[in-house]
Amino acid sequence: MYWEKELETIDRKNLERLQLERLQQTLRQAANSPHYGRIPEIGRYVQSGMASIEQVHALPFTTKEQMRQDFPWGFLAADKKEVVRLHSSSGTTGNPTVVYHNKHDLDSWTNLMARSLFAAGVRDTDVFQNICGYGLFTGGLGFQYGVEKLGCLSIPAGAGNSLRQIKLMRDFGTTVAHVIPSYLGRLFDVFQEEGLDPRKDTQLHTLVIGAEPHTEEHRLRIEAMFGVKAYNSFGLSEMNGPGVAFECAEQNGLHIWEDAYLVEIIDPETLQPVADGQIGELVMTTLDRQAMPVVRYRTRDLTRFLPGACPCGRTHRRIDRISGRSDDMFIIKGCNVFPMQIEGILMKLPEVGEDYRILLETIADQDEMIVEVEVKKEWFKGDLAFLERLQKQITHLVRDEVLVRPRIRLVAAGSIPKAEGKAQRVFDHRKT
């Protein structure tokens, strides 16, 4: 079943024809903004048109740094009086990135969210609890509008307050919830502290997880804890927010909605396209946004196109789960390390809790990687011999994976400070 069968099952030739038409409209609209209006390549294609979507490779990239430099109005391509909403990053380290929407943009985004949720099996008979921040962060309102379009009973619970979340679930029979992965471990702990089991004491059957990279091991652990199916979602505010790509019921990759986005995967070093199936950096162009179209945006997210057709019948290409970010990688003792490599190891160990963090420190003039790992309560009982064995096991596994010997620090469950919103995994305190 499909939300929009004609678009979701469109054949490749007609999809590419639609993309080319929308790409040319996007460039004409983008040229109205101060930023894109001064880019000669865009001006030339506005005048001459494009013969194929492959010609997009001749256009320059857009970066987050440029969006900050042209803050606040440099990317606005419509009259301010047409803008009905903006979303923004925190801007804690300088100017934020701001994205503007007119009514058309919000309607398009809403429909993409409804399409995404429907693909994952959410129906108008479900009770949907959105455990996500509302406001300038796109996750709350993005899901809210999509759920209402779909026709679910929505509970705009917002983030945090675990006891209240559990009460809402039980009082109103929540069947689907949208939650950041790093919060689900804490929520499960509160269920246990209250003598409750989410598998028996709620009606949950589906979780939608996203907003931060996570491993397949982490997803499987979430499914086991809550007794549900957990579907991966992907989005970023520069491309609207959530609803850019979503798993269907087959759970074999995330369909990226190509009628709304032109997608490339490039080598982050050479900036050239990679072969299908090869991991690279995701680059995206909006195809159905008016107030603020974005051309060839370097997301910094690392993924790959998955080969073959999906049994669900949707023809939009699938990307693999985000394996990390090109700007999340850190170098320690000459080795490139991605936090997701370490998470993949930790989430396979039954003794390990739901949280960890990586501290990069300079100790005796040497750079060191310290990995703090929470241990589940039932295992953290003062058995020093057991903890020493676990510490050695994690040390060897991490060293074999990243080729750097870490210092492993085991701590009690719940002791690592929790961040508001997305989890921060790496803290670099090295001397420069």
SS3 146: helix
CATH of the domain at 378: 3.30.300.30
Phi/psi of residue 148, nearest 5 degrees? -65, -40
In terms of DSSP H, where are the helices of 255-324? Answer: none
> Which sign, positive or negative, has the C-alpha torsion 86, 90, 135, 318?
positive
> What is the pLDDT, as a whole number, of residue 93?
56
> Which sign, positive or negative, has the C-alpha torsion 189, 195, 201, 202?
negative
CB count in 10 Å sphere of residue 270: 9
Q: Are residues 127 and 221 in the same domain?
A: yes
Q: Are residues 279 and 138 in the same domain?
A: yes
Could you tell me which residues come within 8 angstroms of residue 27 by beta carbon, excluding any fewer than 6 positions away? 36, 42, 45, 46, 50, 293, 295
385-395 residues labelled b (16+ CB within 10 A) or e (exposed): eebeebbeebe
Q: Which domain holds residue 276?
A: 1-326
196-225 residues labelled b (16+ CB within 10 A) or e (exposed): bebeeebebebbbbbbebbbeebbebbeeb
Rounded CA separation 272/289 (Å): 26
Tens of pLDDT along the chain (432 residues) come to: 899 999 999 999 999 999 999 999 999 999 999 999 999 999 999 999 999 999 999 999 999 999 999 999 999 999 999 999 999 986 555 788 999 999 999 999 999 999 999 999 999 999 999 999 899 989 999 999 999 999 999 999 998 899 999 999 999 999 999 999 888 988 999 999 999 999 999 999 999 998 777 888 889 999 999 999 999 999 999 999 999 999 999 999 999 999 999 999 999 999 999 999 999 999 999 999 999 999 999 999 999 999 999 999 999 999 999 887 877 778 888 787 888 889 889 989 999 988 899 999 988 878 899 999 999 888 887 788 899 999 999 999 999 888 889 999 999 988 988 765 677 888 888 876
Q: Are residues 340 and 276 in the same domain?
A: no
Give me the number of domains the chain comprises: 2
| Sheet containing 407-412, strands listed edge to edge, beginning at the edge strand earlier in sequence | 407-412, 366-375, 352-363, 426-428
Q: Are residues 280 and 391 in the same domain?
A: no
Last residue of some domain: 277, 302, 326?
Answer: 326
Could you tell me which residues come within 8 angstroms of residue 166 by beta carbon, excluding any fewer than 6 positions away? 187, 190, 191, 194, 196, 202
**CA-based nearest residue to 333, from 370, 368, 372:** 368
Rounded CA separation 181/423 (Å): 9
Q: Are residues 313 and 369 in the same domain?
A: no
* C-alpha dihedral (48, 53, 57, 62), degrees to nearest 10: 90
Q: Are residues 304 and 336 in the same domain?
A: no
Q: Are residues 293 and 348 in the same domain?
A: no
Both tokens assigned to 224: 């086991």
Q: Are residues 296 and 343 in the same domain?
A: no
CATH of the domain at 237: 3.40.50.12780
pLDDT digits (tens, 9 = 90+) for 256-289: 999 999 999 999 999 999 999 999 999 999 999 9
Last residue of some domain: 265, 299, 326?
Answer: 326
Last residue of some domain: 284, 300, 326?
Answer: 326
Full-model pTM: 0.84
Q: Are residues 303 and 337 in the same domain?
A: no
Q: Are residues 6 and 91 in the same domain?
A: yes
Q: Are residues 222 and 243 in the same domain?
A: yes
Q: Are residues 311 and 349 in the same domain?
A: no
